[in-house]
Structure 1
Amino acid sequence: MALKREQVSAAITAGGASSRFGSDKALARLGEHTLLQRVALSLEGFGERLLVAPGGRYDLPGWRTVPERWAGRGPLSGLEAALSAAAGPFVAFAAVDLPGLTPAYWEVLLEAAEDRAVAACGPGGQLEPLAALYPLTALPRVRAQLQADRLRLRALLEDLDPVVLPWQAVVARAGEKVWVNVNRPQDLEDL
């Protein structure tokens, strides 16, 4: 059951403090674009576009800002906000600090979609929860984890029994830079 982009809501989570980066990493420039713009470009063509961030913090044309209800609880809080606001049956959920994401990356995940979450494994063999497809049906589990103070997004993803794509299959189509995570200014040099 491959999904089409227009059937899926896209969401970027950009509500973190960027403490290791030293400034707002969403606004850091890499070439012509900010990290936020780069991730948004990878999600072009998705039906609904949600930016999970404090209101008024960023201007991203065509994206609706959605505040976190569980602010300060990490990316799981961002996923809860995205799933709560989404209209489509799935959310393509991406972190702002993954500027190597490409449209090809999302195509690989969309082609593998079933009725459950879809995630890729990074080079180390672990699931990448910050660039995955989540079904709206996961919302009750997300909220239960938040209420129980179990904030590990990877643990939630594993509990959802996702379709898992090996990193080699993803890299073959999306390139190796897709896995670069920007936490410090030096990480931009890897791109």
Structure 2
Amino acid sequence: MPTEPAARDFALATAGVILAGGKSSRFGSNKALARHRGRPLVAHVAMVLEELFSERLLVTNTPAEYAFLGWPMTGDIVLNAGPLAGIQAALHHIAAPRAFVVACDMPRLNGEIIRRLCRCPGDWDVVLPATATGPEPLHAVYHRRILPAVQEALARGEGKLGQLLQELRVREMNAAELGLTTAADPAFTNINFREDLDRQPS
């Protein structure tokens, strides 16, 4: 596929987006605000994205909780519809043609992996890493043109991403393409339980 001109400078062609709309039911409280190395989890994510993207966005339905970040924010258009609703809100709001979308609970993000995803050649709808546990859709690049497909999926009652990804042009980048020696890289670590947070390096 030909390389899209906008992809040549990913910092201008891509917005950095954090999704912070989950219920954190397994964690027991809002995990985005849980302290790790002296900062809320979401602050670690924000620090990495701030170095990469000039346009940034936090998707949350409780903006007052995240005012300390100083980020632009927007809420879900469709409530209680999972991460798909967060992606819809992001693609609806951003000015850039693409969004790098990441979950708020990934404190060990690797900027070089993100750069490689954003610079992937080809005109793809979605670019995501192939991790040891499978494709990671909440550490991925989404083109704004898929917004109608996202809206249609939400209208069908879908909240998860699996079915939608089967309908789109998706590029999975393997460990070698991402400059990794293994697909089980710590950059893809999610914090789901308090025990997961306790296991992270201090």
TM-score over 0.5 (shorter chain): yes
- Structure 1 residues 142, 157: CA separation in 2 closer, same or farther (over 3 Å shift)? same
The answer on whether the counterparts of 1:180 and 1:190 sit within 8 Å (CA) in structure 2 is: no
**Alpha-carbon distance in structure 1 between the residues aligned to 2:128 and 2:9:** 14
Give the aligned CA root-mean-square deviation in angstroms.
1.9
Asked if the contact 2:103/2:139 (under 8 Å) is kept, the reply is yes
Change (3 A) 1:61 1:151: closer
Classify the secondary structure of the residue corresponding to 2:135.
Answer: coil
Q: Conserved in 2, the CA contact under 8 Å of 1:7 and 1:47?
A: no
Between the aligned partners of 1:43 and 1:89, the Cα distance in structure 2 is 17
Q: Does the 8 Å contact 1:7/1:46 carry over to 2?
A: no
More deviation, 52-61/68-77: 52-61
Size of the aligned set, in residue pairs, is 190
Gaps of 5+ in 1: none
After superposition, what is the alpha-carbon deviation per residue over 1:64-86, rounded to whole angstroms, capped at 9, x for unaligned? 11010111110000000000001
**Among candidates 9, 15, 19, match of residue 9 of structure 1:** 15
Identical positions, percent: 33
Tell me which moved more, 83-92 or 149-158. 149-158
Q: How does 1:144-155 map to 2 (within 5 A)?
A: 144-155=152-163
Q: Deviations over 1:97-124 (max 9, x none)?
A: 2222121121110121432211111113
Higher radius of gyration, 1 or 2: 2
The structural deviation recorded for 1:30 is: 1.4
- Structure 1 residue corresponding to 2:190, chosen from 160, 175, 181: 181
Q: Specify the alignment match of 2:128 in structure 1.
A: 119
Stretches (4+) displaced over 6 A: none
Q: Flag structure 2 segments of 5+ consecutive residues without an equivalent.
A: none
**Structure 2 residue 43 is matched with structure 1 residue 43:** no
C-alpha distance in structure 1 between counterparts of 2:149 and 2:87, whole Å: 11
